Amino acid sequence: MLDHPTAPDMLEAVARLLRDTLIPQLPPAVVFQARVAANAVDLVAREMRLGAQAQDQAHGRLQTLLGQEGSLATLESALCTGLRLGEIAADAPGLQEHLWATTLAKLAIDQPTYAPYRHALEQRATDSVTDLPATTTTTHPKE
């Protein structure tokens, strides 16, 4: 097994190659598709770097919130069912924090340069929230 470069590092290099070298040389008719491809490669790299940790953290929060064991998918389904049936109140302890942390972790992967996401990170840092998922503090290249 190779230590370096890692798969996400190689994907980031491919995205840089597309953006910095190839896109400027492409005919205008295919530039958009090449940018979409570069963004997709970046997204896959972020998923590889951040996805497992985000899922593990969500799984832990859901186990605590629901007081039960199960897969992440099972616990997410149980949360949705409990909310829909009124068995879990919107102000249940830990619910809003779980939803915020999950949303921020997903945005860290999908849209890390999204201005409201960046603002939410700054606000959470200012508020000194200690349960901030590590996935949301990673910096990402501008898409």
pLDDT digits (tens, 9 = 90+) for 83-134: 999 999 999 999 999 999 999 999 999 999 999 999 999 998 888 545 545 5
Residues 6+ apart with CB under 8 A from 108: 46, 50, 54, 117, 133, 135, 136, 138, 140
How would you classify residue 27: left for phi > 0, otherwise alpha for psi between -120 and 50, otherwise beta?
beta
Cis-peptide, bond into residue 5, ω within 30° of zero: yes
Q: Which pTM was predicted? A: 0.79
Spatial distance between the Cα atoms of 89 and 101, rounded to a whole number of angstroms: 18
Q: Is the pLDDT of residue 139 over 80?
A: no
Whether residue 57 contacts residue 135, with contact meaning beta carbons closer than 8 Å, is answered with: yes
DSSP symbol at 4: S
